[in-house]
Amino acid sequence: MSQLTGFTPWPEQDAQRYRELGYWTGETLGAMLQRKAGEHPDRIAIVCGKRRWSYAELDAKADQLAAGFARLGIGAQDRVVVQLPNVAEFFSVCFGLFRLGALPVFALPAHRRAEISHFCRFADAKAYVIADLDGGFDYRTLAREVQAEVPTLRHVVVAGEAAEFTALADLHDTPIELAGPSAGGVAFLQLSGGSTGLPKLIPRTHDDYLYSVRASAEICGLDQDAVYLCALPVAHNFPLSSPGTLGVLHAGGRIVLARRPSPDEVFPLIGTEGVTITALVPPLAMVWLDSARQRRPELKTLKLLQVGGAKFGAEVACRVLPELGCRLQQVFGMAEGLVNYTRPEDSDELLHHTQGRAISPHDEVRVVDDEDRDLPDGELGHLLTRGPYTIRGYYLADEHNARAFTTDGYYRTGDLVRRLPSGHLTVEGRAKDQINRGGDKVAAEEVENHLLAHPAVHDAALVAMPDAYLGERSCAFIVTRGDPLRPVELMRFLRERGVAQYKIPDRIEFVTEFPKTGVGKVNKRALRERIAELIAATD
Q: Can you give the binding site for ligand OOB, defined by CB under 6 A? A: 193, 237-238, 242, 308-311, 330-335, 339, 355, 413, 415, 427, 430, 436, 441
CB 271 within 8 A of CB 247: no
Q: How far is the CB of 337 from ligand OOB (least distance, A)?
A: 9
Q: How far is the CB of 538 from ligand OOB (least distance, A)?
A: 27
Q: Supply the DSSP string of 84-97, one letter for each residue.
A: --S-THHHHHHHHH
Q: CA–CA separation, 90 vs 104, rounded Å?
A: 10
Q: How far is the CB of 467 from ligand OOB (least distance, A)?
A: 15
Q: Is 244 helix (H, G, I), strand (E, B) or coil?
A: helix
Closest CB to ligand OOB among 77 and 216?
216
Closest CB to ligand OOB among 96 and 388?
388
CA distances, 481 to each of 454, 457, 493 (Å): 10, 6, 16
DSSP H or E segment with residue 437: strand 434-437
Closest CB to ligand OOB among 101 and 337?
337
Residue closest to ligand OOB, measured at CB: 333
Identify residue 48 by its one-letter amino acid code: C
CA distances, 258 to each of 54, 103, 278 (Å): 18, 25, 11
Phi, psi of 224 (to 5 degrees): -60, -20
Q: How far is the CB of 151 from ligand OOB (least distance, A)?
A: 31
CB 474 within 8 A of CB 499: no
| Phi/psi-derived region of residue 447, left when phi > 0, alpha when psi is between -120 and 50, beta in every other case | alpha
Identify residue 9 by its one-letter amino acid code: P
Closest CB to ligand OOB among 330 and 390?
330
Q: How far is the CB of 17 from ligand OOB (least distance, A)?
A: 24
Q: How far is the CB of 340 from ligand OOB (least distance, A)?
A: 8
CB 14 within 8 A of CB 3: no
Closest CB to ligand OOB among 70 and 285?
285
Closest CB to ligand OOB among 28 and 237?
237
Closest CB to ligand OOB among 226 and 280?
280
Q: How far is the CB of 191 from ligand OOB (least distance, A)?
A: 7
Q: CA–CA separation, 449 vs 466, rounded Å?
A: 23
